[in-house]
Amino acid sequence: MRFEKGYNLAKWTEWNSIFAETIDDFYESYSFYPNILEANRYTYSQIDFLINVIPGEKQKLHRIDELTNKIIQPLEIEEVSIFSYESDYCSVEFAIDENLRDKEFLLIYDSDPEWGDDSIKENPVEDSVRSAVFKVTNY
């Protein structure tokens, strides 16, 4: 089963609140929370840029250490990239669709997502050049 709905970022700096609002809208439309957010690379790069330059934005990020299972906050000096978005009700993995315009994104619920290697852990947005990849939690 698959549902999808398109949205736009009105302002780059409001990406987090827009994601939260559109996730709620998606749920109201389909009674399912999305599990995938598709956008083009430029859209993701702008979000990463804002997280890295706006003071305090990195404090809203976390990742889980695979060995200790502890939550790790990024250091202020780290350049970070995000690969998923979490709200109180769902976790949305990022995927790339270069057919989408800048600021345009799709929220998708897919009961059987295909990630190429059948593993969501190998997320298509991760960039080995970055020093760390984190999740952002809705605030």
Domain chopping of the chain, boundaries: 2-137
Closest CA to 107 of 56, 40, 20, 35: 35
How confident is the model at residue 134, as a pLDDT?
61
Tokens 């934005």 locate to 57
What confidence tier does 30 reach under pLDDT thresholds 50, 70, 90? Answer: very high
Higher pLDDT, 68 or 136: 68
Question: Is residue 136's pLDDT more than 50?
Answer: yes
Question: Is residue 132's pLDDT more than 60?
Answer: no
Alpha helices in the chain, H assignment, sequence order? 15-30, 41-53
- What span, in angstroms and rounded, lies between the C-alpha atoms of 48 and 42? 10
At 94 the three-state DSSP class reads strand
Summarize pLDDT for 45-66 with one digit per residue, the tens. Answer: 999 999 999 988 888 888 888 8
Summarize pLDDT for 80-118 with one digit per residue, the tens. Answer: 888 888 877 898 999 999 999 999 999 999 999 887 643
Average pLDDT over the chain, rounded to an integer: 84
- What span, in angstroms and rounded, lies between the C-alpha atoms of 105 and 132? 23
